[in-house]
Structures are given as C-alpha cells and as structure tokens.
Amino acid sequence: MIDFAKKKRAAAKPVIRARIGRPRDEAARAAILRSANAILEKKGIAGFTIEAVAARAGVAKTTIYRWWPSKGSLAMAGFLAETAPKISYPNSGSAVADLISQLRRVAAVYGGKTGRVLAAILAEGQRDPNTMAAFIEGYARPRREEAKAILRAGVERGELRAEIDLEATLDALYGPIYYRLLVPLTPLEPEWVEKMATHVFFGLLTSKRRHQRASN
C-alpha cells in the first residue's frame, strides 16, 4: 500500500545541491594571480599579456576579464597578492615601533626587483586608470587607513601628541620611499628608512616620550 502522506512530505523537502561554483572560481582566481605575478617577475610589464597569464593559469581570457578589465589592473592585482603579505604591519603595542618596522619591510621588499616591477606598473597606471585604481583601492587606501589607526592608538596611549595631522604624517613617512622608488638617485634601504622615520617621529612624540628617547 502506498503511503501518499509520506510521499507528499518527501516531495516537499527542499533539494540541497552542492555549490561548486564558488570554490572553483576562487581556485581559478588564485591561479590567475599567481600566474600574473610569475610572468611579471620573469618578463616585467613590457612582456606581460593577458594571453600569457591565461595560458599559464589554464583559464580562458574571458574568465580573466570577468574580474580585471585591463592588463595593468591584472598586473597590479597579481603583484599585490604576492607582495602585500610581506609588508604587513606588526602589533607590538608601540605606534612608533610598529610603523618603523613596517617601513623597514617595505624598503627591504621594494629595494630590489620587486620595487622595479612596482615602478613599472605605476608607470602603466599613468595611462590606464584601471591600473591606478587597482593600486589605490587594493593597497594604498586600505593600508593608509590601517596606518592611521596605528597612529591614533599611539595618541591614545600618550606616545604621540594629540594634535598631529595624520595625513601629513603618513605623507612624510611614505612619500620618501616612493620618491626613491621612482627616482632612484640613491638606494632604497631599510637603514635609511629607519633614520628618516626616526627624524619624523621625534617631532611627533609627546614631551615625556621625547625626553625618554633623548636620555637613552
């Protein structure tokens, strides 16, 4: 005898299908970014093409264009995916120590081949707005906000003066790095960056912290 009530309840249950699109998309995206950075390191921006990235990653060009509208924006995304984790901010409890440590990391990474790649991509960004937008929105703006949060914490802890201008401070700290990156009259070295940052921070410390540093 057929139990029609049981059959009806079974039919009413929703069918749960495996969602395979997202993991597959994420895997393809990761492969594209790895391939983009590898080609950048080997051939530079001049030898970088969408076709080469697609071939290396094993995807169609249309897959790449779903996420990146231009060669430059893909190059920047690949570069940042590989480089950004290497220059993250530490969290030691001191704004000055954390920012100087991160600045040294930036100098160490950008002082060699990686910096030359970035300079070439930024030059591409002068003619391709998508490339510059990828750098600003994917790296510069979020990192700047993170650095401002570190400075604010330094003010709250009494390490830095309350009236400091956060925007001007960050320009003073990071502007010289990009100047040496784009105008390589002298090397970009961690030791130089630390000296430069120490000069900037000495004028931003509270009187108490300044006297402590002067006496050490």
Answer whether 184's CB lies under 8 Å from 112's CB.
no
Rg of the chain on CA atoms, in Å: 24
Residues 129-171 have pLDDT tens digits of 988 998 999 889 999 999 999 999 999 999 999 999 999 999 9
Residue-range domains of the chain with CATH: 83-215 (1.10.357.10)
| pLDDT (average), residues 113-129 | 90
The one-letter amino acid at 212: Q
pLDDT at site 18:
40
This prediction's pTM: 0.79
pLDDT at site 178:
95
Residues 197-210 have pLDDT tens digits of 999 999 888 876 66
How far apart, in Å, do the first and last CA atoms of the chain sit? 93
